[in-house]
Amino acid sequence: MTRLSVNINKVALIRNARGGNLPDLVKVAQDCESFGAQGITIHPRPDERHIRYSDVPALKAIVKTELNIEGNPTEDFMELVLRNRPHQCTLVPDSPDALTSDQGWDTVGQKAFLTDIISTLRGAGIRVSVFVDPVEHLVEGAKAVGADCIEFYTGHFARLFPDDPRLAVEPHARCARLANGIGLEINAGHDLNLDNLRYYKTQVEGLKEVSIGHALISDALYFGLQNTIRMYLNCLI
């Protein structure tokens, strides 16, 4: 089974546009779960342009499935994660001014840093996922730094998919076999959508979780949140 974790950053972006509490993130997270999502992902960034640090305790209190907090493990981020203890923390090497994440970690070059961060998080009982590009030595590097899990960056896959799906997915399928063989769980995310998700799922053996925000929330404008979640879940059967 592949879990669907809904990234609700875009919902927070709409809320922040007016300064009030509409839409209400807590209600949206609860509704996503009641519509069948198996997780809620948030990615607080240093400028708090969507999720705010102050949103996290209320979300931690109500999420019944899996709360996944993503981000770059700065001092502030680590403090937030350790204080709120989500089920999973996904480490992402995004710069403070990044529009969105666009690459995974250099798990070999950053070995000492990641080993230290991961051991702190795991020591607090938090499962740790490391965002990586589908490249063999980086997957092996994620295992070496003590991650429980990797999240494949699927941005390049999504860009190439319309022209050549097989070429687009090949590194993911290959690196998934490697990850399965060395005992790393596999998540994936970025630019996954209703066109490419089913194919990705069928080709990437052992895919445990996808986290999807931008396309899913955009689709919800047309189909409604409940229908949209059902449609994404259907791609994961």
Among 33, 50, 66, 70, the one annotated catalytic: 70
Q: What is the DSSP letter of 191?
A: S
The span from the CA of 59 to the CA of 136, in Å, is 35
The span from the CA of 130 to the CA of 186, in Å, is 10
- Known active-site residue 170: no
Q: Which is nearer to ligand PXP, 141 or 212 (CB)?
A: 212
Q: Which of residues 194-233 bind ligand PXP (CB under 6 A)?
A: 211-215
Q: Taking CB under 6 A as the rule, does residue 172 contact ligand PXP? A: no
Alpha helix positions (H), the chain: 9-16, 25-34, 56-62, 75-84, 111-123, 136-144, 155-160, 165-181, 197-203, 214-223, 225-235
Smallest gap from residue 44 Cβ to ligand PXP (A): 10
- Known active-site residue 43: yes
Judge contact between 122 and 87, C-beta under 8 A: no
Of residues 101, 107, 196, 228, which one binds ligand PXP by CB under 6 A?
A: 101
Smallest gap from residue 5 Cβ to ligand PXP (A): 9
Q: Taking CB under 6 A as the rule, does residue 131 contact ligand PXP? A: yes
- Known active-site residue 70: yes
Q: Looking at this protein, which amino acid is placed at residue 236?
A: L
Among 50, 156, 172, 190, the one annotated catalytic: 190
| Count of CB atoms situated within 10 Å of the CB of 217 | 20
Q: Taking CB under 6 A as the rule, does residue 66 contact ligand PXP? A: no
Q: Taking CB under 6 A as the rule, does residue 190 contact ligand PXP? A: yes
Q: Taking CB under 6 A as the rule, does residue 134 contact ligand PXP? A: no
Size of the site for ligand PXP (CB under 6 A): 19
Judge contact between 87 and 67, C-beta under 8 A: yes
Place of tokens 């981000």: 71
Which pair of tokens denotes residue 95? 């710069």
**Residues taking part in catalysis:** 43, 70, 190
Residues that bind ligand PXP (CB under 6 A): 7, 9, 43, 70, 90, 92, 100-101, 131, 151, 189-192, 211-215
